[in-house]
Structure 1
Amino acid sequence: MTETRHDGDAVDAPGRDGAVSAVDNRNRTAECIANPRRAVWKLSLPVMAGMGIQMLYNLTDMAFVGRLGGDAVAALTFNLPLAFFFIGIAFGLGTGATSLIARHIGGDDKTAADNAAEHALVLAVGVGIGIVAMALGLRVPILAALGAHGEALHMAAAYFGIVAPGFLLAIVNVTCSSILSGEGDTRTPMAIQGMGTILNIILDPLFIFGADMGIRGAATATVVSQAAAFAAFIVYILVRKQSYVEFRFRHFVPSARIIGDILRVGLPASTSMMIMAVGGMFYNRIVSVFGTEAVAGLGIGGRMDAIYILPMIALSSSQVTLAGMFIGARRVDLIRETLRYTIFWGEVMAICMAIIFWLFAPSLAGLFTTDPRVVDVATHYVRTVCLGFPFVTVGIISGRVFQGLGSGLPSLVTTTLRVLLVSVPVAWVLTRLYGMGLQAVWWSFVGSAVLSSIVAAVWIRRRLAQVEAELATE
């Protein structure tokens, strides 16, 4: 067969038969077009399973660290926004790759999909190296600026110093997962990431308590599990070559156009997650004036929050792939259908989780700590923010559709509105200028979610109408 280089020249290259690949390519898109609702679950359920395992890890990790005391929980809480900040870059690049690969597959252009996957992986390695260097050099001043002090600062710096080198592995893992998702395979990433997460759960108590490493043990377990997942992805994609997209780096020529296509979606997506991470840093700073117990309560509440957020992210993940494929196939009607269908089931999940959180918040918080003050803070946090779940659902799902269409800006705008323009300023004003307590911070989360979801809903409706009109004139 012949292969087209990234610069457009055709060269002989080994690989799958071109006709077989084209048929396989059309079958992938045709299957989603024939039954788009089934495609939502086919793509989402494996991700949900993986998120479920990740959620179990989040809960058990906090429970194990909680046994080390309030300072350890606070140290982990101070680290969460930093980790979210750096990993957010990876998810942004991955989202850009998923969107671009799906659009090329929907448009029946496998060579372009291969090129996009190669560029995404190279970008991930380069960005990962830069992130590790920056993270190691700035961890102590950043943690101190976030409000960590005393023993909590010492423990937070120790934890981050071990976890930071693993960011390179995590970024490559996320990118590999996104590449496979873009081609319509969410089962393999779930299996590999799930394996790594289960390993993390097993290693946590062994390192924390068995090896008497304390919070350093939790960090070490995380890096070891990331390394295991990294090895599995490399074997699957590069050694055994089992992915649909193919990697032929000996023919690799960097393309500014392909990089631009990835970053057009990926950069706003990364920036959105970094904004949320920065928001988390501000929240920690705002809450820290109420004491270490308040920060620990926020951290535990955030882990409980993940019981809702992670499944919602999993459900919405299908929209990047499907919107990309459907826009490539010029089927805006199917984008609308899957959007409405996904929002419906997202709202069902959101309402059910809100009811559960409201009823059982104290019991859930009690799983992580025996400190009554921390339990009280976490309980009030969860019972307040769960009221915003139905609105958050609309924002998350709409944003993923935008990304599938190749538009990253709307998600960035709504995230900026929700976090930096509403939630953080309102929380600061209410607590600092008006002397209100923690409850004011929690209500700022809800208010910002309502406003941003309204903007997202109106925007996606207008954008789909615009895309439909553009396709009709071509």
Structure 2
Amino acid sequence: MALFKNKQENLDLLQGHITTTLLQLALPIMTTGFIQMAYSLADVFWLCRVESGLVAAGTCGIVLWMCDGFSSLTKVGAEVKTAHCLGRKEGEEARANAVISLQSTFLIGALICLIFCGAYQAIIGFFHFQNQHTVQAAETYLKIVGFGLPFAFVGRTLSVISMANGNSKMPFLVNTLGLVANIILDPLLIFVLDLGVAGAAYATAFSQITVCIVMFIFLRKQAAFRHLHLCRRFSGRLLLQNLKLGYPVALQTILVSMVAMGITRIVNNFAEAAIAAQRLGVQIESLSWLTAESFGGALTAMVAQNYAAMKMQRTYNVIKRSLWLIIGLGSCITLILYFYPHILLGIFTSETDVLHYGTEYLRIISYSQVFMCLEIIIAAVYNAFGRTKFPAVVGVLCTALRIPVAMYLSSFYGTAGIWWALTICTILHSFIMIAIIVLTLSRMKSEYGLT
């Protein structure tokens, strides 16, 4: 308890050394992102030892990714609008926005849970698996994890609210608690109690519920949210404001996940080992995009507060330094994925076919990692400005290209063609985003006389 109590300090995002403040805010968020990745990798580590476990859980992961897009309807507004209110010193409005975000996020999660309960067979049937054991395992995993979705959504929203307030240490500590619970429960439920795939699902759901409850308790210990009450009157005005900010990001996330589902069906034309390798490769690749998204979360909070406070020179400098920092991080991850794929994959599996397809995937996809990191960071900047439509539209158009490009290239190069399609579309997406951010920064510099 004392450890949590000592971590309630909030950073002042409007003052102080930019790089130091940004890193102090970003590092706990990035570590939290790694913890979320570790959640998935812990499941992968054990499920690789269960028949059809990796394919089943990995496939459900794509479905859950799509569902996470619906949580973005309110999660984006929870961070951006709360940060804007705090930057303008509007404490009561910030609390009201936090409440409506949490209320609506829980309702979205509960609705998706009900859909999973009634339509899990149709959802898994979309992937056309030939192995009946894989179908049964995926249906079981999806039903159980669905019960934890409302709490998972609320937990993430609580985290971004805390980050908007300049406190990223608390989400890190609470998510660490959830990871420890997941690591302990996975082998216990999967093997000791012999629950198999269902055991991994129960462990994940329990961990998410734990994180949600503990995070809410300690968010209320922060001065800005000390009087946060979830039973206050539902505000349609604030909900509409949040939806306006969140719907472009939500639509983009949903489309990207739907494209990922389509890619999985294309991969399914080759071998189940290729699907297992792709799902394992995606989990390892998440080292890159989770790092960028976590860093982007810190950047959104910092830019949003300074932009709302009209500190344009500081806003400009924060954006420039963030771009250079993420290039360095993305380059390091590129080198790791390209030169050490066997080592990374070997932690989880020793199957020759999975190692072959997985190595092919990681080496090809490594070429796009710096570009993907830049694209995520630039989108975070526009989200902080409240201009969420632009990055979403570009993302939707470039993501939609993946399916036809993958179908075309796979007809010549097999699975390698699919991986190259993902890489090419990511680089194209990044080039467009880079061109636009350069123009935006030039306009800011000219309009406000920045140096």
| Structure 1 and Structure 2 fold alike (TM over 0.5) | yes
Measure how far apart 1:135 and its partner are: 2.1
Counterpart AA for 2:311: R
How far, CA to CA, are the matches of 1:466 and 1:259 in structure 2? 32
Counterpart AA for 1:104: C
> Which of 303, 307, 312 in structure 1 is aligned with 2:287?
307
1:104 paired to 2:73: no
Measure how far apart 1:190 and its partner are: 1.2
Counterpart AA for 2:182: N
1:392 paired to 2:369: no
SS at match of 2:368: helix
TM-score (norm 1): 0.88
How far, CA to CA, are the matches of 1:253 and 1:53 in structure 2? 35
Q: 2:41: which partner in 1?
A: 59
Fraction of identical pairs, as percent? 23
How far, CA to CA, are the matches of 1:186 and 1:299 in structure 2? 29
Contact between 1:330 and 1:471, CA under 8 Å: does it hold in 2?
no
Counterpart AA for 1:228: T
Q: 1:383: which partner in 2?
A: 363
Matches within 5 A, 1:316-355: 316-355=296-335
SS at match of 2:382: helix
Q: 1:459: which partner in 2?
A: 436
Measure how far apart 1:304 and its partner are: 1.0
Q: 1:447: which partner in 2?
A: 424
Counterpart AA for 1:110: G
How many residues end up aligned between the 2 structures? Answer: 440
Q: Per-residue CA shift, 1:350-372, capped at 9, x if unaligned?
A: 11111111111012112212210
How far, CA to CA, are the matches of 1:121 and 1:464 in structure 2? 34
Q: 1:365: which partner in 2?
A: 345
- How has the CA–CA distance of structure 1 residues 252 and 55 changed in structure 2, closer, same or farther, with 3 Å as cutoff? closer
Measure how far apart 1:121 and its partner are: 1.1
How far, CA to CA, are the matches of 1:48 and 1:387 in structure 2? 22
> Which of 115, 120, 126 in structure 1 is aligned with 2:96?
115
Matches within 5 A, 1:228-307: 228-237=210-219, 241-247=221-227, 249=229, 252-307=232-287
Q: 1:158: which partner in 2?
A: 140
Counterpart AA for 1:161: K
Counterpart AA for 1:236: F
Measure how far apart 1:114 and its partner are: 1.4
Contact between 1:103 and 1:328, CA under 8 Å: does it hold in 2?
yes
CA RMSD, 1 decimal: 2.2
Counterpart AA for 1:458: A
Q: Per-residue CA shift, 1:283-337, capped at 9, x if unaligned?
A: 1111001121111010111111012222222222111101111111112322221
Contact between 1:102 and 1:183, CA under 8 Å: does it hold in 2?
yes
1:424 paired to 2:403: yes
Q: 2:414: which partner in 1?
A: 437
Contact between 1:332 and 1:468, CA under 8 Å: does it hold in 2?
no
Of the structure 1 ranges 180-189 and 48-57, higher mean CA displacement relative to structure 2 is found in: 48-57
How far, CA to CA, are the matches of 1:282 and 1:243 in structure 2? 46
SS at match of 1:32: coil
Counterpart AA for 2:298: S
Of the structure 1 ranges 275-284 and 259-268, higher mean CA displacement relative to structure 2 is found in: 259-268
Counterpart AA for 1:130: L
> Which of 178, 201, 204 in structure 1 is aligned with 2:183?
201
- How has the CA–CA distance of structure 1 residues 254 and 461 changed in structure 2, closer, same or farther, with 3 Å as cutoff? farther
Q: Per-residue CA shift, 1:387-430, capped at 9, x if unaligned?
A: 1011111100000011111111122112212311x222210222
Measure how far apart 1:460 and its partner are: 2.7
Matches within 5 A, 1:122-133: 122-133=103-114
How far, CA to CA, are the matches of 1:28 and 1:355 in structure 2? 33
Measure how far apart 1:380 and its partner are: 0.4
Larger radius of gyration: 1
Contact between 1:92 and 1:269, CA under 8 Å: does it hold in 2?
yes
> Which of 121, 146, 152 in structure 2 is aligned with 1:140?
121
Measure how far apart 1:435 and its partner are: 4.2
How far, CA to CA, are the matches of 2:395 and 2:442 in structure 1? 23
How far, CA to CA, are the matches of 1:243 and 1:207 in structure 2? 39
Contact between 1:104 and 1:113, CA under 8 Å: does it hold in 2?
yes
Contact between 2:11 and 2:25, CA under 8 Å: does it hold in 1?
no
Counterpart AA for 2:424: G
Measure how far apart 1:86 and its partner are: 1.2
> Which of 13, 18, 21 in structure 2 is aligned with 1:39?
21
Counterpart AA for 1:200: N
How far, CA to CA, are the matches of 2:11 and 2:138 in structure 1? 46
Measure how far apart 1:462 and its partner are: 3.5
Measure how far apart 1:93 and its partner are: 2.1
- How has the CA–CA distance of structure 1 residues 380 and 253 changed in structure 2, closer, same or farther, with 3 Å as cutoff? same
Q: 2:206: which partner in 1?
A: 224
Q: 2:60: which partner in 1?
A: 79
Q: Per-residue CA shift, 1:208-244, capped at 9, x if unaligned?
A: 1111111111001001111211221232245xx4352
Contact between 1:410 and 1:456, CA under 8 Å: does it hold in 2?
no
Measure how far apart 1:170 and its partner are: 0.4
SS at match of 2:225: coil
Contact between 1:72 and 1:155, CA under 8 Å: does it hold in 2?
yes
Counterpart AA for 2:113: V
How far, CA to CA, are the matches of 2:202 and 2:230 in structure 1? 35
- How has the CA–CA distance of structure 1 residues 332 and 81 changed in structure 2, closer, same or farther, with 3 Å as cutoff? same
Unpaired segments of 5 or more residues in structure 1?
Answer: 1-24
Q: Per-residue CA shift, 1:39-90, capped at 9, x if unaligned?
A: 2112111112222222333223211100113x22111121111111112322
- How has the CA–CA distance of structure 1 residues 457 and 88 changed in structure 2, closer, same or farther, with 3 Å as cutoff? same
TM-score (norm 2): 0.92
Contact between 2:341 and 2:359, CA under 8 Å: does it hold in 1?
yes
Contact between 2:95 and 2:225, CA under 8 Å: does it hold in 1?
yes
Contact between 1:236 and 1:243, CA under 8 Å: does it hold in 2?
no
How far, CA to CA, are the matches of 1:443 and 1:311 in structure 2? 22
How far, CA to CA, are the matches of 2:447 and 2:29 in structure 1? 33
Contact between 1:78 and 1:148, CA under 8 Å: does it hold in 2?
no
Contact between 2:160 and 2:297, CA under 8 Å: does it hold in 1?
no
How far, CA to CA, are the matches of 2:431 and 2:217 in structure 1? 44
